[in-house]
Structures are given as C-alpha cells and as structure tokens.
Amino acid sequence: MVQYNFKKITVVPNGKDFIDIILSRTQRQTPTVVHKGYAISRLRQFYMRKVKYTQQNFHEKLSTIIDEFPRLDGIHPFYGDLLHVLYNKDHYKLALGQINTARNLIGKIAKDYVKLLKYGDSLYRCKCLKVAALGRMCTVIKRIGPSLAYLEQVRQHMARLPSIDPNTRTILICGYPNVGKSSFINKITRADVDVQHYAFTTKSLFVGHTDYKYLRYQVIDTPGILDRPFEDRNIIEMCSITALAHLRAAILFFLDISGSCGYSIAQQAALFHSIKSLFMNKPLILVCNKTDLQPLEGISEEDMKLVMEMKAEALKTAVGQGGEPTNDDDVLLTMSTLTEEGVITVKNAACERLLNQRVDIKMKSKKINDCLNRFHVAIPKPRDQKERPPCIPPAVLEAKANQEAEKEKRKTEKDLENENGGAGVYSMNLRKNYILANEEWKEDILPEILDGHNVYDFIDPDILHRVEELEREEGIRQAEAEDDDFEIDGTELTPEQQEALAEIRKKKSLLIQQHRMKKSTAESRPTVPRKFDKDKQFTSERMGRQLSSLGLDPTLAIKRMRSTSATRRGRKRERSPETRNTDGGDGMDIDGDTPSKKQCLSRSRSRSRSVPRLPNEVVPGEGFKDSAKKVKAIKLAKKSVKKRNKDARRGEADRVIPNLKPKHLFSGKRSIGKTERR
C-alpha cells in the first residue's frame, strides 16, 4: 500500500541561498592554497576539481528537489487531481521542468569548462576559467529563482495537507454548507474541526479516525458544496468534488430538514441530483440532521416527496456490483448532533455498509480462489447419541465463587472516599495497614521530637483558656482607649497656661489665614525679574526688613545687591577685601578706579581658574561633623579596598573590555572579506 507523506519533502532554498550553500561547500571541501610555482598540470587539476565539485553539488541538490516532489502522473488520481485543483498542474510541471533544464545546463557548462581548463597555460588563465564557470552556473540558478520560490510555497502547503490513505476504509461526509458535517465528525472521532454558525467555516479537507468491530476507519469532512455549474465552483468546492470522485468510500449526504442552514430542502435535493453520478457503486446514506429543531415527520408533503425521491435514487446508486439492492432501512437515517440522538446509529450503519461492500468485492475477485484453497473448516461429527456437556472441576468453580465474593465484599479507598464526603472531605487513614504486635497501638498518638525534646512535654494544657483571657482583656482595653479621647478644654489649666493656650490658638489661626491668602494671591508665585516689577514691591528696604525680622544683619546683602545693580551703569564694581590684600598688607592704596596691569592679570587668573578644595575640607551635606572625621573616614575606605587591590581582583568600578571577536566566527580559512565575496 502506497503511503504519501508530503511532510518529508526537503526545504527548497531561494536562488541567493542556493548559491551561498553550494559555493560555501566548495570553498570548505576543496583545497584553497595554490602557488604559481606549481607545475601547470597541478594548476589545471586544482581548478578542474573546483568546477567538477561545484557541478556535482548543484546536480545533487536539484536532483533531490525533482525526485522528492511527487509526479502527478505517478501518484493516486485523488492526489493528482487535488494538487491540480490547489496548484494548477501546468505551473507545477513547468517549475519542475525548469529545475531539470537548469540541472542539464549546469552539467554542460561544467563539461565545457573542464575541457578548456585542460589547455590552460598559466595560473591566471586557469583561475579566470574557473571564475567564469562558477559565474555561469550561478547565473543559471538565479534565473530559476521564481520557480524555486514557487516550489517552496507548494511544499509548505503540501506539508499542511491531511494524511489521507486512498485505499483504506473511508467514510466521506458531504452536503450543503452549515448542515452539521463538522459537528458529526467531532462527535464520532477525536478530530477538532472548527464549528461556527455561518457557512464555509470548513475550507479544506479534515480527517478523523474511528473504530468499528476492531477495525480503523478514516472519516473525511469535506467543505460545503453549492448547487451551481461545474465551471463556476471555487477551489474549496472542488476539493470536495475531487474526494467524491476518486475515493472508494461510504458517502453520507447530510440534509438539514429544519432549514436553519439557510438552504431549503428543494435546493439540497437539486444538489443531490446534480452530483449523484459521483455516488455510483458506493454505499450511500441520506442523513436528516437537526431533528431536534424539526422532526422528519413534521415537514411538508412537498419536502417529504423530495426526500423520498432522493431515497429512491440512493437505493439505485447503492446497488452493489452484483446488482442486489440493499436494505432501504439503512439508506435514510435521522439524527441530531446537538442532542447526539442517532449519531452512533449513523456511524455504525455507514461502517457496516462499507465493510459488506468491501467483502463482496473481494469475494468476487479472481484472487479469492487462491485463498479458498488454503482454508479448511473442520466440522466434527457425533459418534453416538450420548450427550457430553463441558466438565469444569469443582475446585475451579469454588475458586471462581471466592473471587466473585471478594470482589463484592472488598471496598477500595475510592469507595470509602465517595461514601464519606468525597475528595477534600475524606482523609485516608494511613495507619490501618501497620503490622504491629497489638492492633490497638495503631491509633496511638506518635510523639513529635524537636531538638531532642518531646514537644508534648512543653505544651500547656490551659493554653487555649489563657489565650481567650488575653483576647478578652485586649478588647476591654481597646474599648477604654476609644472612650478616653483626650481633648484640651482648658478647665484643668492654670490662668497662665490658659493665656498661653489662647495665644497659641490665635497664632495658629493667623498662620492658616495667611497661608490661604497666599494661595489666592500673587505672593505664592515665583519671584519675577525686576524689569517686570513696575509697582516696585520687591525693594532692598523690604528685603532688609525681612532679614531683620529673622534676626540677621542685612547690611552686607544690601551692599552687595547695590554693587551688582544694573541701574548704576556709571559705577564700577568695587573690589572685594580679599582682592585688595593679595599683594600684601603693606600695599599702597591707588587713587581712582583705574586698575593696574598686574591687578587685571591677577583678576583674570582668579576668574579663569577656581581655587581647588582641600581633601579634608568639609562640604555641607556630606554628613561629617568636622575635617578630622572626614580624614578618618577616607582612611577607613582606603584600608577596606587595600586587600582586594593586592589580590588584583576585578571590582565593579574597574574597566571591562569584552571579547568582541568570538573564535567560532573569526577563525578559519576566510579571515578577510565578506561572505558574499566569491
């Protein structure tokens, strides 16, 4: 029996990948070092080997593609027509033909250039011939790039096709869309076909398997078929037509007598009569589905007449090859996939009809005579009139009786669990099977040992009573704390304390009012530049009053503000006292505002270069009390890393230079250039 497994077809690379694979293999598998000092025969042999090896690789790859793809003329007609419906056999054959032509062209190119290499007179001439040969081979592969891409798409789609054996026992389900075909296959097999309330949910063939009388049957769910001309049917419908035409199977034609599928019984009858020629010499069963919505007896007389006409046609088409009609009770069946009423009956009837037909065909074949000669059925004849009933020894009967009694009496843990509340309630007794000298010891409490002590010796028998007392006491204290909310009412204070309390409350209310006013006024906003202070609210006098109220001397701040004021354009900024005394305390004062050259130079140096901070200088915010504490902390920090620095261990602050050249990517023959360079 031929098995078709399209999932094992090798992946077809595209043109660029094909060239990369072959040339990389040639580079790896052939010698790469050659010198111009070699003998000319050795140079010729070197380059001839490369050309021949490349041609052999191309030939092997292309031959694998041609051999693994199925030939439409050499496979089962079902698969031949199915591939034609899905991929158009003309395009398929053209693509494989182009692959075959490319294989022959590459062979001719290699043969021609090997002849030319035999007459190469120098290293340069041989190398040019090798490059030209490989280039022409790659050009041929590039030209068949679209064919390679097409075959890869076909391979991927063929790998997703269901594995259908055309020669095994098969049940085929057909009918209009949305009549319950997928629901039926889901009920009788382990297939998981998508079921929806709209038409054409099933768009391809689906396969499931079921058993009947210890035999395996494959059940095929086909897409829905519409009643229209053959040439107007789409690819989805043609898949069903192909399966009906080529598979020797029992046909289940589904009818939706409720009309919920969107098609009337008249339309379904018209479809039946249009494809009844595909049912010849095959067991055919009409299945009236969805009887939970509409029973068969409740349909109208016209619809019943159409159903009876289809039943009569089914009896004609179901006539075996010997011409004997089958029983009409098995031709028309009713069922409901929703309530599962009649589902098993339909399956059994289809399997039985198919099995009988296959047996009849085999009995009428020419091979049956060869098989019957090997069979001999022995029928014993009675030697006298005495009855000899079968004799069973009493010991065997007694043993069987004891086994039956044990089966009835013995209760498993599952039975005990169901009797005592089920899972989660029943807890199995693990001690009942202990083998002890005394059966009463099984239920004794085992001591728990912790750190060499018996835990039971430290358990207070009154612990629960004491815990209840503590909880009761805690509740009483919480109730008292809720009742004793403290609030100062002033009745228990002295007159001086009452005055202080009144002053505090007054100050508090005043602060709250000021805060609310600030939120609603412009004072809560950030300070604006002075050029926008047209009302002159932000003055130096106001700042002085605020600083004085805080207990600070505002003289220096006001003086510095006036010295940096932009309004005093005619006045130069005065030098600070530190700058005046840089030349020494005995320096002579200079009349006027014009500084000397030396003063300008020192001032520019002080502006360009800041004075470095000493290591032991304490900066606010570092957390040190004084400079001595800071020096001590620095010494401790250096001491903590001293041992690690001696061991030369890498820390988190050390510089890391990662290895950016892994060996497996940068070692080998080709260390310079890209992979695409040939």
Residue 209's pLDDT band, with cuts at 50, 70 and 90, is: very high
Q: What are phi and psi of 260, to 5 degrees?
A: -75, -10
pLDDT digits (tens, 9 = 90+) for 246-302: 888 999 999 988 888 888 889 889 988 888 888 888 888 999 998 888 888 888 888
User: CA-to-CA distance for 665 and 678, rounded, in angstroms?
Assistant: 18
Strand locations in 268-419 (E): 284-289, 332-334
Separation of CA 136 from chain center = 44
pLDDT number for residue 589: 44
pLDDT, tens digit (0-9, with 9 covering 90-100), for 303-318: 888 888 888 888 876 5
Overall size of the chain counted in residues? 678
Distance between CA atoms of residues 600 and 63, nearest Å:
92
CB atoms within 10 A of CB 286: 20
Alpha carbon of residue 176 to chain centroid: 36
Question: Quick one: pLDDT at residue 346?
Answer: 92
CA dist., res. 360 & res. 356, Å (int): 6
C-alpha distances out from residue 566 to 533, 543, 557, Å: 14, 18, 16
CB neighbours of residue 187 within 10 Å: 19
For 215-225, letters b (16+ CB in 10 Å) and e give eebbbbbbbbb
Distance CA 341, CA 350 (A): 16
Radius of gyration of the chain (CA): 51
Helices (H), 484-582: 495-520, 540-549, 555-563, 577-580
**Average of per-residue pLDDT across 509-530:** 71
Most confident of 22-36, 104-118, 521-535, 586-600: 104-118
Do residues 142 and 19 lie in contact, with contact meaning Cβ atoms separated by under 8 Å? Answer: yes
Residue 174, phi then psi, degrees to nearest 5 = -140, 170
Q: Are strands 170-175 and 250-256 parallel, antiparallel or unpaired?
A: parallel
Query: At what angle are helices 123-143 and 89-117 packed, to 10 degrees?
Result: 180
Write down the pLDDT at residue 431. 85
Q: According to the model, what pLDDT value does residue 370 have?
A: 77
| Mean pLDDT of the region 387-391 | 85
In terms of Cα–Cα distance, which of 354, 186, 364 is closest to 284? 354
The secondary element (H helix, E strand) that includes residue 94 is: helix 89-117
Alpha carbon 244 to chain centroid, angstroms: 37
Taking all residues of the chain, what is their mean pLDDT, rounded to a whole number?
Answer: 82
Return the H-helix or E-strand segment holding 212.
strand 206-212
As a whole number of angstroms, the distance between CA 269 and CA 273 comes to: 6
Q: What is the pLDDT of residue 579?
A: 45
Residue 89 has pLDDT above 60, yes or no: yes
pTM attached to this predicted model:
0.52
27: CB partners within 8 A, 6+ apart: 669, 670
Closest CA to 183 of 238, 225, 221: 221
- Given this model, what pLDDT does residue 53 score? 95
The predicted-structure confidence for 112-147, as pLDDT tens digits, reads as follows: 999 999 999 999 999 999 999 999 999 999 999 999
Mean pLDDT of 387-404: 89
pLDDT greater than 60 at residue 485: no
If DSSP codes are grouped into helix, strand and coil, which group holds residue 186?
A: helix
Start-to-end C-alpha separation, the chain = 48
Pick the residue with more confidence: 345 or 231?
345
What pLDDT shows up at residue 410? 72
pLDDT of the residue at 79? 86
pLDDT band at 414 (very low <50, low <70, confident <90, very high): confident
**Looking at residue 583, what is its pLDDT?**
46
Q: pLDDT tens across 173-193, in order?
A: 999 998 988 999 999 999 888
The predicted pLDDT at position 600 comes to 56
pLDDT tens per residue, range 566-575: 444 454 555 5
Q: Which of 51-55, 426-430, 620-624, 667-671 has the lowest mean pLDDT?
A: 667-671
Give the Cα separation of 308 and 64 in Å (integer). 56
Closest Cα to residue 251, out of 207, 210, 281?
A: 281
Both structure tokens of 25: 């293999």
C-alpha distances (whole Å) from 540 to each of 379, 530, 544, 561, 569 are: 136, 11, 6, 8, 18
* 447 and 455 Cβ atoms separated by less than 8 Å: yes
The whole-number average pLDDT for the span 494-523 is: 83
Backbone φ/ψ region at 673: left (φ over 0), alpha (ψ -120 to 50), beta: left
Q: Which of 104-118, 146-160, 506-520, 604-618 comes out lowest in average pLDDT?
A: 604-618
**Residues 670/672/674/678 CA torsion (nearest 10 deg):** -60
- Give me the pLDDT at residue 663, please: 66
